[in-house]
Amino acid sequence: MKRHLESYTKTTNVTLCLALAAALACGGTTTFQDTTPIRIAVAPPPPAAPPPPEKQVKIRDNRIELGQKIQFAYDKAEILPASFALMDELAKVMQENPQVQKVSIEGHASDEGEDKHNLLLSKARAEAVRAYLVSKGVSTERMTSTGYGETRPLVSNDTDAGREQNRRVEFHITKQEVTKEKVEVDPTTGHEKVIEKTSANEEAAP
């Protein structure tokens, strides 16, 4: 009896397999009755990359502009660590722009304190900035430093905000290589084409 059942089972399985193969070969349709939903896991999209930090150092004509002030210890020519990243970016910009050949680093002060003290402090702070840039690889021959004390205020010293604004270090480009291009317009395409390019050194008074 057991052998008979095993033989019957094998025969039935073979018959079902042959029938299914024949249906598929002949283009038939096989319907599966299992309606269990199938879940497909979809990986979430990767997080968006954070935007690059905004540049704080930009070359503008005959100046190097900083997006924030260089911070010093109170009444000292000591650059605070909070400004190290800014100073490093400044050094990188100068190294990547060799056409900027000479830069005058100028220190300024508010009218608080004695005139002579403010003059010496502004000079010392400008020199501290120059020394920091030299330590980061900027050629010492490309920079000079000086201080003007309280003689060149940007705004009135009547308020704390004004005095804070007047305490600053500025960067003036006194010599740079300027490239000029002569352009003509193609009458056929309307596109501009550079036909001549010249470079010349321009010097400006600090």
More confident residue, 123 or 4: 123
pLDDT of residue 141: 96
Average pLDDT over residues 134-152: 97
Average pLDDT over residues 13-22: 48
pLDDT of residue 75: 94
pLDDT of residue 143: 98
What pTM was estimated for this model as a whole? 0.67
Record the tokens describing residue 32, joined without a space.
Answer: 């599966």
Question: Is the pLDDT reported for residue 4 higher than 60?
Answer: no
* Calpha distance 75→60 (Å, rounded): 30
Question: Domains of the chain, with CATH numbers?
Answer: 57-203 (3.30.1330.60)
For 179, the enclosing helix (H) or strand (E) is strand 168-185
Q: To the nearest 10°, the Cα dihedral for 83, 84, 85, 90?
A: 90
For 148, the enclosing helix (H) or strand (E) is none
More confident residue, 110 or 55: 110
Record the tokens describing residue 12, joined without a space.
Answer: 């039935």
Which tens digits make up the pLDDT trace of 44-94? Answer: 777 877 776 788 899 998 999 999 999 999 999 999 999 999 999 999 999
Cβ neighbours for 70, distance < 8 A, ≥ 6 positions apart:
79, 83, 86, 87, 129, 168, 169
Strand partners, 58: 65
pLDDT of residue 26: 47
pLDDT of residue 46: 79
Among the listed residues 143, 118, 141, 121, the one whose alpha carbon sits nearest the alpha carbon of residue 130: 143
Helices marked H in the chain:
2-25, 84-96, 115-135, 160-166
